Structure 1
Amino acid sequence: MKGIIFTEFLELVENHFGLEVLDQVLEMSKDEGIYTSVGSYDHKDLVTLIVNLSKTSDIPAAHLQEVFGESVFKKLLATMPPAAALAHSTNSFEFIRHVEDYIHVEVKKLYPDAVPPSFEFISETETELILNYKSARCMSHVCLGLIKGCANHFGQQLNIQMKPLNDSGSEVRFNITLLD
């Protein structure tokens, strides 16, 4: 997992919970908290940080993942080159489709060892998008937050339903309906 995810998570914890809580979470996780945005790290370390923040804050880990995904959307968007097709998307559905067709392809080119999540598009109309999220990292709630961040970026209201497709959570169906 790319380091930008870790650096953004640590910043979110510090900004929303304070340095004392961040230090406590790092200590509980046996993590020094030293990450670079371009480094690659084991996703299990992020899961450990989220679980320990959940224990410290009494906020469910799934909700913390969602909040994180929503907050990190703008930062990830800002890292994209201006000429990218994504920068010219006009709505959430178009952007989400470009994530699979552009971002994940570019990530694999830049980092051959990267294994980004994948989206399998099931159906799409002007008002509904159904896709399957697949990731061995089982972080579908981060994906949910990213979709919410995307909707906020485009000023759209979406109804988002999630349905696990297996027991591990590595595959989740998203039914996304435009409410505007």
Structure 2
Amino acid sequence: MKGIIFTEFLELVEDQFGLEVLDEVLTMSEDEGIYTSVGSYDHKKLVKLIVNLSKKTGIEPSTLQTVFGRTVFKTLLSSLPDDASVSQSKTTFQFIHHVENYIHVEVKKLYPDASPPRFVFISESESEMLMDYHSARCMGHVCLGLIEGCAQHFGENIEVNMVQTNKDQSIARFSLRKA
């Protein structure tokens, strides 16, 4: 997992809960908290940080992941190179397709060992989209937050529902409906 995810998560924890809570979560996680935005790290470290933040704050891990996804969307969007053709996307649905068909493909070219999540589009109309999110990292709630952040970015009112479709949570089905 790219380091920008870790650096943004640590920054969010410090901003929302304070440096003392961040230090306690790092200590609980046996993590020094030293990450660079361009480095690559085991996603299990992030899971451990989220679980320990949940223990410390009493907030469900799924809620923490969703808030994080919503918050980190703009940072990830601004980190995309100018030639990523992001400006061609005018809606949330277009952007989600762009992520799957262009951004994830480019990530694989740059980092052959990377395993970005995969979107499988099931059905779509002008006002609804049904898709499955596949990821070995099992972070469907982060994806939920990213979608919500994307809709906010495009100024769209979209109802997003997520259902885990398998026991290990590596697949989540998303139903998006424009209000």
Q: Which bin holds the TM-score, normalised by the shorter protein?
A: over 0.9
Find out whether 1:14 has 2:20 as its counterpart: no
Find the aligned partners of 2:138 and 2:166 in 1 and give their Cα distance: 11
1:76-87 pair list within 5 angstroms: 76-87=76-87
1:1-180 pair list within 5 angstroms: 1-179=1-179
Deviation at 1:81, TM superposition (A): 1.8
List per-residue Cα deviations over 1:18-66 (Å, max 9, x = no partner). Answer: 0000000000000000001111100000000000000001100000000
Deviation at 1:88, TM superposition (A): 2.3
Match for 1:14: what amino acid? E
Find the aligned partners of 1:8 and 1:164 in 2 and give their Cα distance: 25
Deviation at 1:161, TM superposition (A): 1.1
Q: Secondary structure at the match of 1:71?
A: helix
Find the aligned partners of 1:87 and 1:25 in 2 and give their Cα distance: 38
The alignment-based identity, stated in percent, is 64
Deviation at 1:89, TM superposition (A): 0.7
Q: Secondary structure at the match of 1:83?
A: helix
Q: What is the root-mean-square deviation in Å for CA atoms of aligned residues? A: 0.7
Find the aligned partners of 2:84 and 2:39 in 1 and give their Cα distance: 23
Find the aligned partners of 2:162 and 2:111 in 1 and give their Cα distance: 29
**Structure 1 residues not aligned, in runs of 5+:** none
Find the aligned partners of 2:178 and 2:83 in 1 and give their Cα distance: 27
Q: Secondary structure at the match of 1:123?
A: strand
Q: Secondary structure at the match of 1:103?
A: helix
Find the aligned partners of 2:171 and 2:84 in 1 and give their Cα distance: 28
TM normalised by structure 1 equals 0.98
Superposition misfits of 4+ residues, deviation over 4 angstroms: none
Report how many aligned residue pairs link the two structures: 179
Match for 2:8: what amino acid? E
List per-residue Cα deviations over 1:141-175 (Å, max 9, x = no partner). Answer: 00000000000000011111111111111011101
Comparing 101-110 with 133-142, which one deviates more in the overlay?
101-110
Q: Secondary structure at the match of 2:173?
A: strand
**Structure 2 residues not aligned, in runs of 5+:** none
Q: Secondary structure at the match of 2:80?
A: coil
TM normalised by structure 2 equals 0.98
Find the aligned partners of 1:156 and 1:83 in 2 and give their Cα distance: 25
Deviation at 1:85, TM superposition (A): 2.0
